[in-house]
């Protein structure tokens, strides 16, 4: 088996483990406690209003990010406040689209905001989009990659508690 093939298989297994999460049903794995403070200072776009907040690092050219955003906008998590952190990891077109998203919502330079969001995402170790950060019912900061229905259901359950 080639090295590239082994790395691909390990990457898939790692992604699957991130989505499985803990046996108590909380998706993902632990993140550093100060991540929420750092994300609160990012250039995010809010969807919904709730005391249960999540931050999702997303790229406008990422199909999985678009699927997640569509699911949220279609009511998958009505008890959750989403804070979308636009980045442009998938090329200059993605950066321009992310900048436009930010400029549509905030009176700031979108390009600079996207650059700051991308630097923050790299500093936080984000390796794939969408990456979703949240606090579980014990207050622990956790994250997962993706946004399948199981993960969305778990977030909605926590938000409703």
Work out whether strand 131-135 and strand 53-58 pair parallel, antiparallel, or are unpaired. Answer: antiparallel
**CATH classification of 3-160, choosing from 3.30.1490.190, 3.90.25.10, 3.20.20.210, 3.40.30.10?**
3.40.30.10
Q: Are 43 and 85 in contact (CB under 8 A)?
A: yes
Domain segments of the chain: what residues? 3-160
pTM: 0.84
pLDDT digits (tens, 9 = 90+) for 6-52: 343 333 334 433 333 333 457 788 999 899 999 999 999 999 999 99
| Tens-digit pLDDT profile for residues 40-70 | 999 999 999 999 999 999 999 999 999 999 9
E-strand spans in the chain? 29-30, 45-47, 53-58, 81-86, 131-135, 141-145
């Amino acid at each position: 088996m080639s090295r590239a093939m082994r790395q691909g298989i390990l990457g898939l297994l790692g992604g699957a483990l991130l989505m499985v999460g803990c046996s108590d049903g909380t998706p993902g794995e632990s993140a550093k406690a100060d991540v929420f403070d750092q994300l609160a200072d990012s250039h995010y776009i809010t969807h919904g209003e709730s005391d249960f907040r999540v931050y999702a690092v997303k790229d406008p050219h990422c199909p999985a990010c678009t699927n997640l955003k569509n699911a949220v906008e279609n009511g998958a998590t009505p008890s959750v406040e989403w804070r979308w952190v636009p980045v442009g990891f998938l090329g200059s077109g993605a950066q321009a689209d992310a900048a436009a998203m930010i400029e549509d919502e905030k009176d700031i330079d979108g390009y600079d905001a996207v650059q700051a969001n991308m630097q923050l995402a790299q500093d936080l170790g984000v390796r794939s989009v969408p990456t979703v950060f949240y606090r579980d019912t014990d207050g622990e900061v956790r994250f997962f990659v993706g946004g399948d229905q199981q993960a969305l259901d778990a977030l909605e359950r926590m938000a409703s508690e």
